[in-house]
């Protein structure tokens, strides 16, 4: 039962992100993780106001939930120092490992395919500099 409750926390986090409901974070996250999530989500949603996450898979064991997401959004404001391109990224893969304590998400480590995201947005890469 705990595994399903832990997966539900991640589902509720995604729903809150997709609804732009940062107050809902208090119901699913705690401590520094909740603060860090706010610091990440708010500016990202400003840059990509139609940003959406879709859950592909959730796997839970003990106090850990591994989540695979597909994310999409349109670049409408500055991101990483690059002004709005009005280009869209679609189905960019993200994988996060969430840690749960006392019925709340308290930590996460993730991998995002930002290279695919940047290419879809039309960001130019001139290669490495020495």
Per-residue pLDDT of the chain (130 residues; tens, 9 = 90+): 699 999 999 999 999 999 999 889 889 999 999 999 888 888 889 999 999 999 999 999 999 999 999 999 999 999 888 899 999 999 999 999 999 999 999 999 999 999 999 999 998 776 555 5
pLDDT of the residue at 42: 86
Helix axes 31-47, 2-19, angle to 10 degrees: 30
Q: Which two tokens stand for residue 121?
A: 């947005």
- DSSP code per residue over 16-53: HHHHT-GGGHHHHB-HHHHHHHHHHHHHHHHHSTT-EE
Using CA atoms, how far apart are residues 117 and 98, in angstroms rounded to an integer? 22
Name the DSSP letter for residue 7. Answer: H
Q: Which CATH number fits domain 2-121: 3.10.450.50, 3.40.630.30, 3.20.20.70, 1.10.1060.10?
A: 3.10.450.50
pTM above 0.85, yes or no: yes
């Amino acid at each position: 039962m705990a595994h399903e409750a832990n997966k539900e926390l991640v589902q509720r986090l995604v729903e809150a992100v997709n609804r732009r409901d940062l107050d809902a974070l208090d119901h699913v996250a705690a401590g520094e993780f909740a603060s860090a999530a706010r610091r990440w989500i708010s500016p990202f949603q400003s840059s990509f106001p139609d940003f959406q996450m879709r859950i592909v898979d959730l796997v839970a064991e003990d106090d850990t939930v591994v989540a695979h997401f597909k994310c999409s959004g349109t670049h409408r404001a500055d991101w990483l120092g690059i002004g709005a391109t009005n280009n869209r990224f679609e189905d960019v893969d993200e994988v996060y490992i969430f840690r749960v304590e006392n019925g709340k998400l308290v930590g996460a480590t993730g991998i995002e395919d930002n290279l695919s995201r940047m290419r879809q947005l039309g960001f130019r890469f001139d290669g490495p500099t020495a």
